[in-house]
Amino acid sequence: MKKITKKILVIEDEDFVRENIIELLDAEGLNVLGAENGRIGIDLAKTQLPDLILCDVMMPIIDGYGVLSALRQDSIMAGIPFIFLTAKAAKADVRQGMELGADDYLTKPFTRAELLGAVASRFKKQAAVHKQYHTELRQAKDQLNYLIRNDNLTGLPNRLSLQERFKQVQPADTEHQQILTVLCLGLDRFNQINENLGHAFGDLLLKAVAQRLSSCVDAQDTVARLNADEFAIILATNPHKQDAVNVVQSILKSLSQTFVLANREIFITASIGMAFYRRDGKELEQLLSNANKAMLKAKQQGGDQYQFYTATFHLGSSDRLTLQTSLRHALEREELLIHYQPQVDLQKGQIIGAEALVRWQHPERGIIPPDKFIPLAEETGLIVPIGDWVLQKACKQIKIWQTKGFPSLRVAVNLSGRQFCQMDLRQKLVQILMDTDLHPQYIDLEMTESMLVQNTEVAIRRLNALKSLGVQIAIDDFGTGYSSLSYLQQFPFDILKIDRCFISNITNNSNNTAITKAIIQMAKSLGLKLIAEGVEKAAELDFVYHHQCDAIQGYLFSPPVSTQEFEKLLTTKKSLPLPPGYND
Ligand code: C2E
Ligand code: CA
Ligand code: CA
């Protein structure tokens, strides 16, 4: 490598001194330029860009200070090391020079050793500065490398590094045994968390989720964040499909454990789609896209579950469109009907009321459950006329049964978010009460927490306005949202319905047992009536019975049934055999 000769500019009006310095430095193999006054010095500095300037202080026309301040104001020349040559060693002069930005000074007369020492130490410093600069540059590059490969918020790899990772772990064509699984994971209802609890909280949650995900997989696996609430995972170490399923189940379980963030307890669930290398695609993009379709399917089925990709998923969207069009006509064509599910009290085991659950009797597809069309009706706004219809129809039916000999039978009607937001909901309810002559005390309006937490103050005001009519308010699907138990205390509920996800298999799931006990305790302390939903097994009944819930609803007693069948349950006085020892 060619050695670069350093270039030094000497600005000195005394010819003898200047020539002497030039000679000395020249002998050291340096490239030296001379200037006999400040003006020439500045010009030479500009054109030659020396590595070092030695400059006399006392000079005619422009003195040393003038030269230095001119140089320091120039963006290119400001960085050139500058040494003053001064006959005066007065402290004030030295200070003035240093304040102007000189790097060093030499007092005349100086020896050869002093001169060479000052020059050498300047160059050494410059080398150190260069080294520092290169270190910083390398750090900046590393940082940039990290930034373009990792997600800002969670620090997880992003799509780019996932791609790189995929190339590394992609099995060779000969390795047919090795199974590579690509997962797409989405948090259920994450938008609501962001909207209701704020983005800062959403971010906290995403970070915590990222940590949990990372702790669920092997070191050779990769967890990446794709966008807002979507993560991708490459499972690289599973010889069998069942191993991958086990990991997925452990992920779902881990995410369903309470998060405690910013003094708030939050429960979340996730949906996972699984795609397998080779079977569902050979390229990462295709595997991700298929895993994503499977994830959407898991979400459609209610979330908190996993789905494998199957090639028929693409039917979904056109299916949706047809449904949407025919739903518009469903009301006019009287294709909607209501099934009633008994609510049974746990004191006497008798039917005390019914939850009205809408169904769609589709001319070609048969009965379509509400989960398949209510979300669509919500999106399109059709839920408002549908909801009005259900309310009207159910109240009318209950009044009929009351007059047939069941005078205290209650009805529970589900309200959707959009319905709850209608300005004239209270007025509509008054109209229905007048039309059907049903006493408001027999009506429970069921709503979910997600409808209420968006604007707490407004929600409380609305609830109170409805309650002032005499109806009761039930909080539905309790525990599946994201609010802490104590947060919901501020709403004026009368009834709390424990969601069936806590009730199902309650005796085998210690987590569910603990949550349900806590919910019951809180509801009791608030004086709420408790209804356990989804009671299917005797052991579940036993649990809610002994923990003193007030009523149950579930397949154990009866699924939702048609009007005729419900009437049969009433007239035959079907009752629930209760376990012994309620009052133990
Ligand atoms: P939901 O309000 O939580 O209703 C209870 C759901 O749990 C019903 O499903 C019922 O059939 C089901 N269920 C009851 N007992 C059991 C059990 O022991 N085991 C199991 N596995 N399931 C049980 P359905 O009728 O399919 O209704 C689903 C959801 O659709 C309802 O959930 C409610 O959110 C919504 N929905 C139904 N009717 C209406 C309506 O008129 N308006 C609105 N806005 N939503 C409605
Ligand atoms: Ca309900
Ligand atoms: Ca429910």
From 189, 339, 357, the mutation candidate for ligand 1 (largest count of ligand atoms within 8 A of CB) is: 357
Residues 301 and 382 reside in one and the same domain: no
Q: Is residue 332 part of a domain?
A: yes
Is the shortest distance between the CB of 374 and ligand 1 below 6 Å? yes
Q: Is residue 371 within 6 Å of ligand 1 at its C-beta?
A: yes
Determine the atom of ligand 1 nearest the C-alpha atom of 536: 18
Last residue of a domain, one of 145, 178, 213: 145
Please work out whether the CB of residue 479 comes within 6 Å of at least one atom of ligand 1: no
Rounded Cα–Cα distance for residues 545 and 560 (Å)? 21
pLDDT confidence of residue 201 = 93
Q: Could you tell me the distance, in angstroms and rounded to a whole number, from the CA of residue 492 to the centre of ligand 2?
A: 18
Which residues are in the CB-under-5-Å shell of ion ligand 3? 476-477, 533
Measured in angstroms, how far is the CA atom of residue 500 from the centroid of ligand 3? 7
Tell me, yes or no, whether 275 and 359 share the same domain: no
Whether residue 398 contacts residue 408, with contact meaning beta carbons closer than 8 Å, is answered with: no
Angle, CA 19 vertex, CA 18 and CA 22 arms, to 5°: 85
CA–CA separation, 4 vs 6, rounded Å? 6
Q: Going by CA atoms, what residue is nearest to atom 12 of ligand 1?
A: 534
Same-domain check for residues 199 and 140: no
Whether 369 maps to a domain, the answer reads yes
CA distance 60 to 1: 43
Query: In testing the pocket of ligand 1, which one of 414, 448, 552 has its CB within 8 Å of the most ligand atoms?
Result: 414
Alpha-carbon distances, residue 163 vs 160, 191, 285, 447 (angstroms): 5, 27, 9, 44
pLDDT of residue 393: 97
H runs (alpha helix) in 73-158: 91-100, 112-149
CATH code at position 55: 3.40.50.2300
> With contact defined as beta carbons under 8 Å apart, do 187 and 268 qualify?
yes
- Measured from the CB, is residue 375 less than 6 Å from ligand 1? no
Query: Which amino acid residue places its CA nearest to atom 8 of ligand 1?
Result: 357
Which residue's CA is minimally distant from atom 30 of ligand 1?
370
Q: In angstroms, what is the span from residue 507 Cα to ligand 1's centroid?
A: 23
Residue 420 sits in the same domain as residue 519 = yes
With residues binned 3-state (H G I as helix, E B as strand, rest as coil), the percentages for the chain, rounded to 5, are 50, 20, 30
Q: How far is CA 103 from CA 11, 86, 91, 106, 438, in A?
A: 16, 13, 15, 11, 95
Are 86 and 212 in a shared domain?
Answer: no
Q: Whose CA is closest to atom 41 on ligand 1?
A: 358
Q: Is residue 150 part of a domain?
A: no
Residue 416 CB less than 6 A away from ligand 1: yes
Q: What is the CATH number of the domain that holds 192?
A: 3.30.70.270
Nearest ligand to the C-alpha of residue 356? 1
Alpha helices (runs of H) in 262-350, residue ranges in sequence order: 284-300, 315-330
Contact criterion met (CB below 8 Å) for 191 and 234 = no
Q: Which atom of ligand 1 is nearest to the CA of 448?
A: 34
Which atom number of ligand 1 is nearest to the Cα of residue 533?
Answer: 15
| CATH number of the CATH domain containing 357 | 3.20.20.450
9: helix, coil or strand? strand
Residue after which a domain boundary falls, among 268, 286, 316: 316
Is any atom of ligand 1 closer than 6 Å to the C-beta of 353?
no
The range of the structural domain enclosing residue 96 comes to 7-145
pTM of the model: 0.55
Q: Are residues 345 and 286 in the same domain?
A: no
Q: How far apart are CA 579 and CA 584, in angstroms?
A: 12
Alpha-helical (H) ranges within 362-489 are 370-380, 383-403, 417-421, 425-436, 449-452, 456-467
Q: Which of 163, 402, 167, 184 is nearest to 280 (CA)?
A: 184
Q: What 3-state DSSP class applies to 182?
A: strand
pLDDT value at residue 486? 62
- Nearest-CA residue for ligand 1 atom 37 is 357
Task: Say whether both 132 and 186 belong to one domain.
Answer: no
Decide if 386 is inside a domain.
yes
Q: How far is Cα 186 from Cα 267, in angstroms, rounded to an integer? A: 15
Q: Is residue 375 part of a domain?
A: yes
Which tokens hold the place of 383? 């839920």
Contact 254, 212 (CB under 8 A): yes
Helix (H, G, I), strand (E, B) or coil at 366: strand
Is the beta carbon of 369 within 6 A of some atom in ligand 1? Answer: yes
Q: Name the CA radius of gyration of the chain, rounded.
A: 39
Q: Are residues 471 and 440 in the same domain?
A: yes
- Pair (63, 81) in one structural domain: yes
Q: How far is ligand 1, taken at its centre, from the CA of residue 357, in Å?
A: 6
Pocket residue to mutate for ligand 1, from 331, 355, 374, 561, most atoms within 8 A of Cβ: 374
Confirm or reject: Cβ of 357 under 6 Å from ligand 1: yes
Please identify, among 263, 286, 316, the residue that sits at the C-terminal boundary of a domain.
316
Pocket lining: 555 vs ligand 1, CB cutoff 6 Å: yes
Angle ∠(109,111,113) on CA atoms, nearest 5: 150
Residue 398 and residue 543 share a domain: yes
Q: Along the chain (584 residues), what's the average pLDDT of each consecutive run of 10 residues?
A: 77 94 92 95 93 92 92 85 82 80 87 91 83 75 73 88 89 72 94 87 95 93 92 87 89 93 90 91 91 90 86 57 82 93 97 97 86 83 93 97 97 93 91 95 92 80 94 87 65 92 82 80 87 95 94 97 97 92 53
**Both 362 and 508 in a single domain?**
yes
**Which bound ligand lies closest to the C-alpha atom of 390?**
1
3-state SS string over 554-578?
CCCCCCCECHHHHHHHHHCCCECCC
**SS3 for 308?**
strand
Q: Do 180 and 283 fall within a single domain?
A: yes
414 lines ligand 1 (CB under 6 A): yes
**pLDDT at residue 376, rounded to an integer:** 82
How far is it, in rounded angstroms, from Cα 241 to Cα 434?
61
The tally of domains found in the chain comes to 3
Cα of 272 vs centre of ligand 2, distance in Å, is 26
The long-range contacts involving 200-209, CB below 8 angstroms and separated by at least 24 positions, are 201/261, 201/262, 201/264, 203/153, 204/261, 204/262, 205/259, 205/261, 205/266, 205/268, 206/153, 206/154, 207/153, 207/154, 208/259, 208/261, 209/154, 209/255, 209/268
Which residues crowd ion ligand 2, with CB under 5 Å?
414, 446, 476
The verdict on residue 452 lying in a domain is yes
Q: Which residues is 223 bridged to in the sheet?
A: 233
Residue 114 CB less than 6 A away from ligand 1: no
